[in-house]
Each structure stands twice: as structure tokens, then as C-alpha cells.
């Protein structure tokens, strides 16, 4: 532990506290930024959206160096070592105000071996962040974990420590130059121009989705003729639509597909938020399961999460809920019931033969009228106790926040129906034996 601290002291002596990054990110001109905020931006011939670089790197770097200097001073006079550390809480817990002030610091050697190990883990992350900020490089949380598996014990521990360090410093995770491994996927006729000059084409016919990079490694987004963007909860649905080139053949015009493969990660949320802020005219939709977790995912994209409320640019207030809703699920269920009833009442007629005037028989079954029917294997199922608990949790969150807009009232109403009917359904409940494009065409045209 002391050897690590000594290395940091030597590095601090060699590098001035205010040393800038060796490879600063280009900053858009004031005229470019003003055009992004202009209400007439959508009328401009250019479809290029500039991505502003993160502006809090310098603050994070100076705070980390102040922590290191405090540790060096404590070593010099033989005092206990301390690092400020606050946990990002999941809500407004009244008891948090009365917590022991000692809990806002981690000490070495501390009260026990666990606190000493926690101090070392936090210090090591700060050291890696400091190096990344000075070099201008990004490091992943996964990489941090694998550098010292014995110290961190689990990936979850690294995730928690990084988020809490960012919360303590009052910055975002990416302001530490620490990012999560790429998880989100994007597909559509757009291009991402990276800060290094490379261009990522997101809609090549040979691809069915590419990994979404950190938004701060992107200099600009070329939207071309894109009219809409659809955020999809399920990766399987995303892959199916991408493979069929749906974004190019949608009846309302070309669009973009995005998925975070379930619950939204910070990088995907930030990409959507910055794009939404720069181009509010671009309509964004969300397609999630009809269950409490699906609505929670929708709300996380729209309003953020309490645990990461200190993060900037992570909400999409204008995100529209495309589906699925109770009306979609009940339409499917009623259709299946009608199909089953019709089949049972006419099975003898299907198997019988028709007679002609000459006494001959037609051996072909009588034709049935065509009824609209969707995949019978993916309709509504019953809520579990965990589902019901999650529904109540989301409803309490809506009530506590005092949200009263039409979108939130609709979410609250759907959760009530869900609980009364005791049903839930996946996105696949509205597809036509694996093909959701017909439903999607209708839904997008309605909205």
C-alpha cells in the first residue's frame, strides 16, 4: 500500500497539478454550438450533429490530485490516511442526513482489514483515473477489474466504487475517463465520425448492428435523411429488424435502431440524450415489454435513475412510448380466443365435403375466412410476485416525484391495469409468427 502511495508522490512531483491532457479533444466553434440550439437547425441543409466534449475533466483531475497531495502530507507527518468517499444513494433517504460523518471518508489503516482493503481499492481506481486523464485515454471498468482480481473480488465491486467516486467528486463517470465496456448496439443509415478522424458506418447491409462507442469519443453524427429513432428493449427484436433492413424500408422514412440489451447502460443513455438535445426534431420512440420492468426501462431512458442522478446528459424527456400496451396485449388475446372459437365450431364443416346437383362430391375442405392472428405462443402470462412488487415500486416513484404529465399518467394507468388484470407480455406477443414489421408499420404511422 505504501509503495503505491510513494509512486504517486513521485509522479505528482514530476507533473504539475494543472497539467493538461496531452491530446485535448477538439472543441466545436461557438457558431457551431449556437446553430445546435437554434430552433431553425432542422431547416439547415446539413444533417451533421456536433457532439460537445465533456467539460468536467479538469475538475476531476484537480480534485484527484488534491486527494493525492493530502495523502502525501499525512504520510509525512505520520497521520492516518483518508480519502473522501460518499455512496450514491438510491433515493432521498431522510436517515442519510444523520449518518456518521466518518462514513464519508475511507481510512487507512482504518478500523479493520476490510476498510484498509477498501481504501486500497479506491486509491488504485483514483490512480488509474489520474493516469487516464493525463494521457487522454479511456479505460474500461472491466479492465480495472482484471488488473487486480484479488483486490476487487468482483466486477460489481468495481462498478459500485467507480460510481461512488464520481458521485463524491460531483462529476460523471466518463469525466474520470472511465467507461463501461461497449454494450449498446446501433443500426441505421447514419455515420459516427470519431475524434480520431475515423468514420463508423452504422447501416452496412453486411451488419446487423455495431457496438455503440462512448459518445465522448464521437466528434459528430451524420444523420443523413433519418426521420426517427427506435430504442428497443430486446436484443433479439433489434437483430431481427436490423437483419431485415427495416430502418431503410419503413413507410414513414429511414430510421435508426438502438438497444442496450435490456436495462439501459449509461453509455447508451448518454448517446441518446446528447443526440436528443442537439436534434430535438428527431422523433425518438421506445419499444419495451408490457411488464413493470419494461415500464421501468422506459422511465430510466426518459427521466434517469436516482442512483446516477449526479450524471449529466443521461435523460431523453421527449422519448415516446411506442408500445407495447394493454390494448396491444388484449387485442392479441381476443384474437386468439376468436380463432379458437371459430375453429371448434366449424371443424366438422372443414372436414365435410360439398355436394353438387349431380351428386358428385368436392373433396376439398371448405375455405375459412381469413382472421388476423398473431403468434399464439407469445401472448399474455401471469404476473409473478416480483413483478407486482416492481409495479408498486414504479408507481410509488411516480407519486413521490409528483409527475403529472400525460405520458406519466399513461404509465401509471397501464401499471394499474397490469395489476388488475394480473397479466404481462413480451414484445413478441404482437408479432406475426416472428415478424413484427406489420405491427411496427402501423404503430409508427399512428405516431
* Cis bond before residue 109 (omega within 30° of 0): yes
* Cis bond before residue 324 (omega within 30° of 0): yes
Catalytic residue among 146, 290, 342, 399: 146
Check: CB of residue 217 under 8 Å from CB of residue 194.
Answer: yes
Query: Measured between alpha carbons, how far is 35 from 55 in angstroms, rounded to an integer?
Result: 19
Query: Measured between alpha carbons, how far is 412 from 290 in angstroms, rounded to an integer?
Result: 13
Candidates 301, 291, 250; CA nearest to 447 is: 250
User: Hey, how many other C-beta atoms are within 10 angstroms of the C-beta on 410?
Assistant: 13
DSSP result, 388-442: HHHHHHHHHHHHHHT--SHHHHHHHHHHHHHHHHTEEB-GGGGSBTTB-HHHHHH
Check: CB of residue 225 under 8 Å from CB of residue 256.
Answer: no
Contacts within 8 Å (CB) and 24+ apart, 292-296:
292/383, 292/387, 292/388, 292/390, 292/391, 292/393, 292/394, 292/415, 292/418, 292/424, 293/263, 293/387, 293/390, 294/233, 295/391, 295/394, 295/411, 295/414, 295/415, 296/390, 296/394
Residues 6+ apart with CB under 8 A from 291: 383, 387, 418, 424, 425, 426
Name the one residue in this structure whose C-alpha cell is 486523464: 133
The sign of the dihedral angle between the CA atoms of 436, 442, 446, 447 is positive
Is 146 part of the annotated catalytic residue set?
yes
Name the one residue in this structure whose C-alpha cell is 463517470: 173
User: Hey, how many other C-beta atoms are within 10 angstroms of the C-beta on 262?
Assistant: 12
Query: Measured between alpha carbons, how far is 87 from 167 in angstroms, rounded to an integer?
Result: 7
Query: Measured between alpha carbons, how far is 210 from 268 in angstroms, rounded to an integer?
Result: 13
The sign of the dihedral angle between the CA atoms of 413, 419, 420, 425 is positive
Q: Is 54 left (phi over 0), alpha (psi -120 to 50) or beta?
A: beta
Helix 155-169, helix 113-135: angle, nearest 10:
70
Return the active site residues: 146
Amino acid at each position: 500500500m505504501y509503495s503505491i502511495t510513494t509512486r504517486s508522490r513521485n509522479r505528482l512531483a514530476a507533473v504539475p497539478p494543472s497539467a493538461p491532457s496531452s491530446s485535448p479533444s477538439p472543441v466545436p466553434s461557438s457558431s457551431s454550438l449556437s446553430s445546435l440550439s437554434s430552433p431553425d437547425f432542422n431547416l439547415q441543409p446539413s444533417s451533421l450533429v456536433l457532439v460537445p466534449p465533456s467539460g468536467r475533466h479538469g475538475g476531476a483531475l484537480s480534485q484527484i490530485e488534491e486527494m493525492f497531495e493530502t495523502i502525501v502530507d499525512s504520510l509525512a507527518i505520520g497521520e492516518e490516511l483518508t480519502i473522501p468517499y460518499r455512496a450514491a444513494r438510491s433515493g432521498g433517504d431522510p436517515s442519510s442526513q444523520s449518518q456518521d460523518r466518518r462514513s464519508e471518508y475511507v481510512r487507512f489503516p482504518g478500523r479493520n482489514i476490510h476498510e484498509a482493503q477498501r481504501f486500497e481499492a479506491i486509491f488504485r481506481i483514483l490512480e488509474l483515473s489520474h493516469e487516464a486523464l493525463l494521457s487522454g485515454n479511456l479505460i474500461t471498468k472491466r479492465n480495472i477489474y482484471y488488473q487486480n482480481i484479488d483486490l476487487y473480488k468482483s466486477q460489481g465491486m468495481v462498478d459500485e466504487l467507480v460510481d461512488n467516486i464520481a458521485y463524491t467528486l460531483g462529476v460523471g463517470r466518463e469525466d474520470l475517463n472511465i467507461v463501461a465496456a461497449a454494450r449498446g448496439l446501433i443500426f441505421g443509415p447514419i455515420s459516427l465520425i470519431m475524434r480520431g478522424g475515423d468514420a463508423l458506418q452504422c447501416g452496412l447491409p453486411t451488419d446487423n448492428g455495431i457496438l455503440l462507442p462512448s459518445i465522448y469519443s464521437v466528434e459528430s453524427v451524420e444523420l443523413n435523411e433519418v426521420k426517427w429513432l427506435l430504442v428497443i428493449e430486446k436484443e433479439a427484436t433489434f437483430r431481427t429488424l436490423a437483419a431485415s433492413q427495416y430502418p431503410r424500408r419503413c413507410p414513414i422514412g429511414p430510421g435508426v435502431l438502438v438497444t442496450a440489451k435490456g436495462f439501459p447502460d449509461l453509455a447508451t443513455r448518454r448517446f441518446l440524450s446528447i443526440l436528443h438535445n442537439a436534434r430535438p426534431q428527431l422523433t425518438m420512440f421506445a419499444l419495451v415489454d408490457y411488464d413493470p420492468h419494461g415500464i421501468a426501462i422506459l422511465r430510466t431512458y426518459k427521466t434517469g435513475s436516482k442512483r446516477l442522478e449526479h450524471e449529466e446528459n443521461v435523460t431523453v424527456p421527449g422519448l415516446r412510448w411506442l408500445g407495447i400496451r394493454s390494448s396491444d396485449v388484449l387485442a392479441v388475446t381476443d384474437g386468439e380466443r376468436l380463432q379458437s372459437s371459430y375453429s371448434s365450431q366449424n371443424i366438422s364443416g372443414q372436414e365435410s365435403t360439398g355436394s353438387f346437383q349431380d351428386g358428385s362430391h368436392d373433396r376439398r375442405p371448405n375455405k375459412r375466412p381469413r382472421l388476423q392472428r398473431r403468434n399464439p405462443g407469445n401472448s399474455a402470462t401471469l404476473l409473478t410476485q416480483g413483478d407486482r412488487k416492481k409495479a408498486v415500486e414504479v408507481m410509488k416513484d411516480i407519486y413521490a416525484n409528483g409527475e403529472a404529465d400525460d405520458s406519466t399518467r399513461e404509465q401509471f394507468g397501464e401499471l394499474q391495469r397490469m395489476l388488475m388484470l394480473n397479466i404481462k407480455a413480451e414484445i413478441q406477443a404482437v408479432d406475426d409468427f416472428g415478424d413484427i414489421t406489420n405491427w411496427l408499420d402501423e404503430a409508427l404511422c399512428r405516431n
